[in-house]
A and B are shown apart, each in its own frame.
Chain A
Amino acid sequence: MHTVIEGGPTFAHIHVDLAPGERLTAEADAMASMAADIGMQARLNGGFFGALARRFLGGESLFVNDFENATQATRRLTLTQATPGEIRPVALKQDDGGICLQPGAYIASTPGVEIRLRYAGLASFIGREGLFKLHAVGEGTLWYGAYGSLLEQPVDGEYIVDTGHLVAYDPGLQLKVQLAGGVFASFFGGEGLVTRVEGRGTIILQTRSLSGLAGWLNPRL
């Protein structure tokens, strides 16, 4: 499988050249274009109950699409995301613990990658980040994306993140949703709820947030 990300960082999209027999799983509606003889099959995202949980508790789509090249030649598939922004691949190894993704960040993965649902805690639910979080594990490549650019921030100890800007993080990190400051600062300072990240690892942030854009637009409608 040969993949190339073009148009980045602002308009990243992934061209995937599938060799005969190769398969790829992608988020519903991620396909922009493809050779007509690539097979595409919708599948519940992790079994019936798993899919329901992912949809209503994890904020992900109910379905994902499995693409398969059943022809005898290489075929191209182009994938993208809803918002303009950066896309990154991450190589997962069987024993490296995987990566945790915030709702909406997942774009695609190779067949060896499994997306699990982990309980994220009530605080996450209150912070409107879903009751569960997505944990990708296994062997293969996963692509995730964001609105804006992606920036990596190492954490050793604790770090505060605006909740709408968190995209991905090492599974070993602990997340807690809290008020940005005092009650006054939190609601009048424009930051509201933030996420406190504790432990040692890396967090990945998006430089824009869709909820931020909506929040700016709403009073002007």
Chain B
Amino acid sequence: MDIDIHYGPGNAAARVQLGANERVTAEAGAMIAMSGDMNIETTTHKAGQGGVLKAMRRALAGESFFMNHYTASSRGGDLWLATTLPGDMKVFQLADQKLIVQGGSFVAAPPSIDIDFGWQGFKTALAGEGLFWLHISGTGPLIVNSFGAIYPIAVDGEVIVDSGHIVAFDETLDFSITKAGTSWISSFLGGEGLVCKFTGTGTVWCQSHNPPGFGKALGPMLRPR
């Protein structure tokens, strides 16, 4: 499997070239073009697994996250992936590593990468704004996308990231939902509300722009249907 990112950082799209019968799992809706003989299967979970419990867990967490599984024919094939908001994409090459990816940032990964929803109802509910987290592990490439540019923060100690700005982070980091600054009142009044605090050693990849923030700026100008 070959992946290259084109047209970043403004309008990034990923071209995934699959070998004969090779397979890749992508977020539903990310495909913009593909070879004519590509096979697609849609599930609520990883292909080839029952996943009833995991699907239930996700239903409990209030998420419906569909995955499309693309399988190339015996001649191989191409797949172009892109996302809705203007922004960049990044490919992580995981080597038996664990990464936690914000649900909206996940684009695609091959079957050698395990995608798990984990149990996150509580933290998700607190963080609000429709956020959920994918636990990614294994060996192979992982494609993520961002609203705006991606900047890494090397955490050694404690770092606060506004929840709408998280793309992914190393599983070695401890993650909690908290207030920004010293007081809860101040955090809410100052418009930051609940933020994510990372503790330990590892990297957080942030996106320069905040999808819910953009929604809040544009939303009031739109007419109700």
Binding site for B on A (CB under 8 A): 6-7, 10-13, 15, 27-29, 31-37, 39-42, 61-65, 76, 78, 80, 82-84, 104, 210-211, 213-214, 217-218, 221
Across-interface contacts of A32 in B (CB, < 8 A): 161-162, 165, 206, 208, 210
* Chain B 36-68 interface 0/1 with A at a Cβ cutoff of 8 Å (1 = within): 000000000000000000000000000000000
CA distance A218 to B220 in the complex (A): 11
Q: How many residues of B contact A (CB 8 A)?
A: 45
Across-interface contacts of B153 in A (CB, < 8 A): 33, 76
* Chain B 67-108 interface 0/1 with A at a Cβ cutoff of 8 Å (1 = within): 000000000000000000011100000000000000000000
CA distance A112 to B159 in the complex (A): 27
* Chain B 176-209 interface 0/1 with A at a Cβ cutoff of 8 Å (1 = within): 0000111101111111100001010000101011
Main secondary structure, interface of B, reads mixed
Binding site for A on B (CB under 8 A): 9-10, 86-88, 147-149, 151, 153, 157-162, 165, 180-183, 185-192, 197, 199, 204, 206, 208-210, 213-214, 216-218, 221-223, 225
Across-interface contacts of A63 in B (CB, < 8 A): 189-191
A40 and B9 form a contact (CB under 8 A)? no
Q: Which of A27, A33, A40, A62 has the most CB of B within 10 A?
A: A33
CA distance A11 to B199 in the complex (A): 27
B162 and A221 form a contact (CB under 8 A)? no
B213 and A82 form a contact (CB under 8 A)? yes
CA distance A42 to B208 in the complex (A): 22
Across-interface contacts of B86 in A (CB, < 8 A): 10, 84
CA distance A55 to B216 in the complex (A): 16
B162 and A28 form a contact (CB under 8 A)? no
Across-interface contacts of B10 in A (CB, < 8 A): 10-11
